[in-house]
Chains A and B, each alone.
Chain A
Amino acid sequence: MSQLTKILAISIMVFIPISSHSHNDEKHSLIGESKADKLDQCVEPTEVMQKEHFEFLYHQREETVEKGIRTKNHSLANCIDCHVSHDEKGIAIPVNAEGQFCQTCHVKTAVNIDCFSCHATVPRDNSSKIKSTGYNQNIHIESTANNLVEYYKETNYEK
């Protein structure tokens, strides 16, 4: 009897997390449409990706930063390119926005993601000019130099 309860307890411990992770074989139901919606599986089988995607990312980041290997399969840029959802107007929704691909599972499992404090959350190439307001004056050397001179005058000469 005690053996039976043990087996039952172990089987519950093993299977419940798996079933809660795996969307019960349903596709993601996210707002918007992504390239990934139309594909059967990711770069590895779905079960592998669910449990080990961060291992792939950790491995790839060392390869890329230190050795300059730029293969696409396990790169974060490629993940985002494929998994980012687009709304009806075709505008990309950040992957870490509420209810989006990364965020849904990470909220559920209470695992914080750090990737997007530095990495772009939507595919953004450098031809789509950022040009925040006043950035041109900001980078202009003459004005920068003038600002610096005034800054030093204020900080040094008054003392």
Chain B
Amino acid sequence: MNLDRTASEAADSNRSSPSRRRVLQAAAAAGGGLMLSLRLPFARDVAVADADGFVPNAFIRIGTDGQVVLTMPYVEMGQGTYTSIPMLIAEELEVDLSQVRLEHAPPDEKRYGNPLLGGLQATGNSNAVRASWQPLRQAGAAARTMLIAAAAQRWNVSPASCRAQTGEVRHAPTGRRATYGELAADAARLPIPDRVALKRPDDFKLIGKPAKRLDTPAKVNGTAVYSIDVRPPGVKIATLAQSPVFGGRVKNVDDSAARAVNGVRQIVRLDDAVAVIADHMGAAKKGLAALVIEWDDGPHAKLNTKDVVDELERATLNPGVVAETIGDVGGAMAKAVTKVEATYQVPFLAHATMEPMNCTAHLRKDGCEIWVGTQVCARAQAAAAKTAGLPLDNVIVHNHLIGGGFGRRLDVDGVVRAVQIAQHVEGPVKVVWTREEDIQHDLYRPYWFDRFSAGLDAGGMPVAWSHRFGGSSVIARWAPPFFQNGLDSDTTEGAIDLLYALPNKQVDYVRVEPPGIPTAFWRSVGPSHNVFVVESFMDELAAAAKQDPVAYRLALLDKAPRAKAVLALVAEKAGWGQKLPERVGRGVSLQFVFATYMAQVAEVEVSKDGAVRVRRVVCAVDCGTVVNPDTVQAQIQSAIIFGITAALHGQITLKDGRVEQSNFDNYEMLRIDEAPAIEVHIVQSSEPPGGMGECGTSAIVPAVANAIFAATGKRLRKMPIDTTVLKQPT
């Protein structure tokens, strides 16, 4: 997802703008103490907030006990947000990280969404730290200034003679000190300062230092509560079968055997799904297996993957909507000495979060309660309200830790299902999808088809670059206002605004929606496709020019010093150019997506029978200011393994309208014995932070493909890797 290119700029402009008061307010907290309310910018909604008046979506409460409680709209799904966000507050407020407690957003969800954008409250697009970097530090500094002012007033001294430290205000000349808890109520009666000075990076005590994650203890002793773990009193457990073909319906159900299963309470038949309600999941699954369901497969009954690919191949023969044009590609191509052409394809992919889709719903006559782990709390509430036919205010959403998001939980189909089922059930019902349902009824990373052509001059350098691609626009479904004039910023991220100096360039996009197959965001989204094809094709150009892939790229980066620096660093650390054994190769990739510069070198071994093993990955990253370097390292390792999984194993295929994959035996995940050594080198920077959760995924796939080319001479233009073409001829 990429809706928020303007968010960080907007945040920066808040620094001293006259409307700053509109994004920060102070009041006495309930039960005493100081409450600061602020608005963290989400995807382009700053303008809406201005027009609408102040709608806070984050709260900092300093209690009379000195405890700092931060309530914010982002959700923890493994990316470390629940640690890095408190670091921003603690840094400016001058408290220990341990003094900050983070709370889930309260059940009053409406303030966290933006109704004008269809409830565009989301944790995604690697944007939590990017969006909060400025406003949260400002809020912390404002609170600190007010606490100092309260102390100065109390002691009748000048604020400048006081100083904040570890949750106290101190007046050195007289040795007086007061805790934030003692000062909070007085501070709440003071005005918010017009202007606050933020710390210089040199003075940071927390930001940039490794911090232990606050959510770890509960995750190692089994006490962390995901939505699949909730047990409201009287809860029943349900599992379900949805139409195996998208768009199909239930024709007939024989549930006599299912009803006879011990522990099965009820069978719920919906238009396009059947659910078994039971005392426990064991009985529900047994009941499900005993159901005899006859389906009306509907219009997509005969759909195969090939139909989707054929349509993409055909549609991309015609021009699409121009996303970027520079110079004169046609003229330059005509004069080029060498021409290179290639087509690329990437498959549908499922998310396969370890926590299968689930949602608990309790529907009463006048209200509805939902227990879920979602990246989009406001949307979950709206979906439940719409499905139940209730006013928004009558729906309470309890959000939970997320057992893997990766974009899957930016959609609320699971909430809709749970409410549909709950409409037929007395009391709360927890709807848990089997792994098979989870994989076969996902919303998938789109299939994309790309056509490239390039012209090289006599020196082998690119003088013309043409890139046309076809595929689904996730944004067009998910956030229609952001699909404009046939384009959206996610679909094209990583294909346009390249770092390389390309004097003549055209990129056009042909929107082709696959019939019946829902598409969705998937870790690194648009770049998961664009970076693979662009960096593979760039490698092809270097090979056509008979030049070293790193040197070739460096020669095109004179106007992108930060990119050049990460590329040079990764080459040095990876030992680029050093000799490797036969059928082992190094491949490189470079990207600027999610506002972060990243270069990777993968070292890959291809066995004689074609099996691919990624042995080592070296990554250099410039993500601006690093908040928690330990999290940066963890996220890059994670994203790289996620990307290798896709490159080696990932594809969802259709036969007769049905998804062919069903569980981890045929939709495989990388395992510990296949995981490469990963080295992460972080470039020191004081620029604003870039996104971190996703960029490692898009960068690794071309690095692996390029390494396979180096090892075998085989250019893989279609993912996942087909090992049969890599067999060494005997």
A and B: bona fide binding partners: no
